[in-house]
């Protein structure tokens, strides 16, 4: 008897369902919720806080607080600087003078180009914010110094020349006033000479050229009046002016670098140089 073949299909067992993994997922019964960026600080993703105000600082009425914030910062910065000045025993005006004086000392010793802002800070014993509160840059310090001393010296010189009439008397005033000013504070001529005759400095050399031109014009007017009045022999006015200025300036440039320059730059020396310019060094011949 033949065996009957089974036509039933093989039963496939259903796949056993795996339990869900709880790694990195919220616990059962809790709803998963994404936290928008900035929610921890009370702001939504648009940059607005829960009250609807914008993070730029504008309130709900649309007024901008940027201007008031910057004004407040400037006021606080000014208060801090003035407080630091008082802590050093100086008023605000005294602090500005202190910074100028220290800058002049360092400039005269090292030269403008070789002096850094850090050198000035170290000499003045202040912080960078304090310096920049009074002067925005190293260049501003130098320009303030040159304008003050150069302009003040010329104004005093003009006032002293007013009552003098003869060419010789006026030249003596120029020589003596220059010697007194440079002997009083030798740092000024040291700085001006080395900066004027050194390499050109943008923003600095043009100012010094203008001061030198004003002084040259003042002396030239005296020389020209002397030529016209007959006190001086007819000659090149520009050449005589340059000769007189060089005669003074070379003595100034050398003597302000010596010990006790105020004693060396005496009225007697000033008068002798004027006499040398007017009458020369030649021996009188019968």
Query: Is 48 inside a domain boundary?
Result: no
Least confident of 91-95, 100-104, 189-193: 91-95
The reply to whether 151 and 244 lie within a common domain is: yes
Say if residue 57's pLDDT is above 80: no
The reply to whether 154 and 232 lie within a common domain is: yes
Query: Is 113 inside a domain boundary?
Result: yes
For 152-178, what is the mean pLDDT? 93
Say if residue 98's pLDDT is above 70: yes
For 40-61, what is the mean pLDDT? 41
Q: What is the pLDDT of residue 36?
A: 42
For 173-201, what is the mean pLDDT? 94
Query: Is 28 inside a domain boundary?
Result: no
Say if residue 74's pLDDT is above 70: no
Q: What is the pLDDT of residue 125?
A: 96
d(CA 238, CA 244): 10
Q: What is the pLDDT of residue 54?
A: 43
Full residue range of the structural domain in which residue 103 is found: 74-136
Q: DSSP readout, 6-36?
A: P-PPPPPPPPPPPPPP-TTSPPTTPPP-PPP
The CATH code of the domain that includes 176 is 1.10.357.10
Q: What is the pLDDT of residue 68?
A: 53
Query: Is 167 inside a domain boundary?
Result: yes
The reply to whether 125 and 167 lie within a common domain is: no
Residue where a domain stops, chosen among 94, 111, 136: 136
The reply to whether 127 and 181 lie within a common domain is: no
The reply to whether 92 and 176 lie within a common domain is: no
Say if residue 249's pLDDT is above 50: yes
Q: What is the pLDDT of residue 151?
A: 84
The reply to whether 109 and 189 lie within a common domain is: no
For 2-26, what is the mean pLDDT? 50
| Count of structural domains within the chain | 2
Q: What is the pLDDT of residue 62?
A: 44
The reply to whether 185 and 132 lie within a common domain is: no
Query: Is 274 inside a domain boundary?
Result: yes
Residue where a domain stops, chosen among 120, 136, 152: 136
Q: DSSP readout, 98-161?
A: HHHHHHHHHHHHH-TTT--HHHHHHHHT--HHHHHHH-SSHHHHHHHHHHHHHHHHHHHHHHHH
Residue where a domain stops, chosen among 103, 136, 169: 136
Closest by alpha carbon to 188, among 219, 135, 147? 147
At 82, the pLDDT band (50, 70, 90 cuts) reads low
The reply to whether 168 and 257 lie within a common domain is: yes
Say if residue 257's pLDDT is above 70: yes
Least confident of 48-57, 92-101, 263-272: 48-57
Q: What is the pLDDT of residue 213?
A: 95
The reply to whether 155 and 215 lie within a common domain is: yes
The reply to whether 173 and 259 lie within a common domain is: yes
Whether 133 contacts 83, CB under 8 Å: no
Query: Is 99 inside a domain boundary?
Result: yes
Q: What is the pLDDT of residue 56?
A: 42
The reply to whether 191 and 266 lie within a common domain is: yes
Query: Is 102 inside a domain boundary?
Result: yes
Share above pLDDT 70 across residues of the chain, in percent, rounded to a whole number? 67
Say if residue 187's pLDDT is above 90: yes
Say if residue 72's pLDDT is above 70: no
pTM of the model: 0.68
**H/E run at residue 279:** helix 267-279
Q: What is the pLDDT of residue 260?
A: 95
Query: Is 10 inside a domain boundary?
Result: no
The reply to whether 174 and 84 lie within a common domain is: no
The CATH code of the domain that includes 91 is 1.10.10.60
């Amino acid at each position: 008897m033949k065996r009957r073949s089974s036509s039933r299909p093989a039963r496939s067992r259903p796949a056993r369902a795996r339990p869900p993994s709880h790694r990195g997922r919220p616990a059962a019964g809790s709803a998963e919720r994404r936290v928008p960026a900035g929610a921890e600080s009370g702001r939504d993703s648009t940059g607005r806080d829960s009250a609807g105000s914008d993070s730029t600082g504008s309130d709900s009425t649309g007024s901008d607080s940027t201007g008031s914030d910057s004004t407040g910062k400037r006021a606080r910065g000014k208060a801090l600087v003035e407080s630091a000045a008082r802590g050093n025993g100086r008023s605000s005006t005294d602090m500005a003078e202190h910074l100028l004086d220290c800058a002049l000392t360092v400039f005269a010793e090292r030269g403008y180009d070789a002096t850094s802002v850090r050198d000035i800070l170290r000499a003045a014993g202040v912080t960078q914010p304090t310096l920049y509160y009074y002067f925005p840059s190293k260049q501003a310090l130098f320009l303030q110094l040159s304008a003050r001393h150069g302009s003040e010296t010329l104004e005093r010189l003009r006032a002293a020349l007013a009552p003098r009439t003869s060419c010789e008397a006026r030249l003596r005033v120029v020589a003596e006033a220059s010697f007194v000013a440079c002997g009083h504070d030798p740092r000024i001529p040291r700085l001006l000479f080395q900066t004027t005759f050194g390499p050109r400095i943008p923003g600095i050399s043009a100012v010094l050229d203008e001061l030198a031109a004003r002084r040259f014009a003042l002396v030239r007017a005296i020389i020209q009046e002397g030529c016209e009045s007959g006190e001086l022999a007819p000659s090149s006015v520009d050449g005589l002016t340059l000769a007189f200025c060089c005669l003074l300036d070379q003595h100034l440039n050398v003597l302000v670098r010596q010990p006790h320059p105020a004693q060396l730059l005496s009225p007697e020396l000033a008068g002798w140089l004027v006499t040398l310019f007017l009458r020369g060094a030649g021996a009188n011949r019968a």
